[in-house]
Amino acid sequence: MKDHENKTLSDQLQVMLIDDDALVAKSIKRLFADEYEITTAHSAQEGLELLALRDPIFDIILSDLSMPNMDGMEFFYQIEKTFPELVDKIIFMSGGATTATQEQFLTKHSCRQLNKPFQPVELREMISAILLKV
């Protein structure tokens, strides 16, 4: 049985939200608070530290692509090395202005991507697709 199938109706999916823009993170968290248990990290490094605790075990990782210090691409490579079972659970967000390098990365790794601002239904559909695939 898959982890998400073991959850009771009262349990919520565990989502890690990584975004260096505190207002964006707060808005997303507020928007989905009734549907998902969202843990916020304000940097990719903070996200990695939360993952290392393994409590909670995250069902989905929603990460900004462009961040200072460690961007989404470097975060992905760290996940790939340290937590390979989570690679397929990552959804990247971007403000729409992605570089050629980022586009190549997203294509090469078949990464899911949402352009900010996005409609709530878009995120719900991506999460459903991930859960059905896992």
Give residue-wise pLDDT tens across range 55-93. 778 999 999 999 999 999 999 999 999 999 999 999 999
Place 134 in a pLDDT band, splitting at 50, 70 and 90.
low
The pLDDT score that the predictor gives to residue 9 is 38
Place 20 in a pLDDT band, splitting at 50, 70 and 90.
very high
Give residue-wise pLDDT tens across range 106-128. 999 999 999 988 999 999 999 99
The helix/strand/coil state of 17 is: strand
Cα–Cα distance between 123 and 76 in angstroms, integer?
Answer: 19
pLDDT over 70 for what percent of the chain? Answer: 92
The CATH homologous superfamily to which domain 11-133 belongs is Response regulator (3.40.50.2300)
For 8, 36, 41, the CA distances from 28, given in Å and listed in that order, are 24, 11, 12
The residue-averaged pLDDT of 92-111 equals 89
Q: pTM for this one?
A: 0.87
The pLDDT score that the predictor gives to residue 95 is 83
- The continuous run of DSSP H or E covering 41 comes out as strand 36-41
The pLDDT score that the predictor gives to residue 4 is 47
For 30, 41, 50, 62, 101, the CA distances from 117, given in Å and listed in that order, are 15, 19, 26, 14, 22
On average, the pLDDT of the chain sits at: 89
Each domain of the chain, given as residue ranges in start order, spans 11-133
Cα–Cα distance between 62 and 19 in angstroms, integer?
Answer: 8
Cβ neighbours for 95, distance < 8 A, ≥ 6 positions apart: 66, 115, 116
The residue-averaged pLDDT of 96-107 equals 87
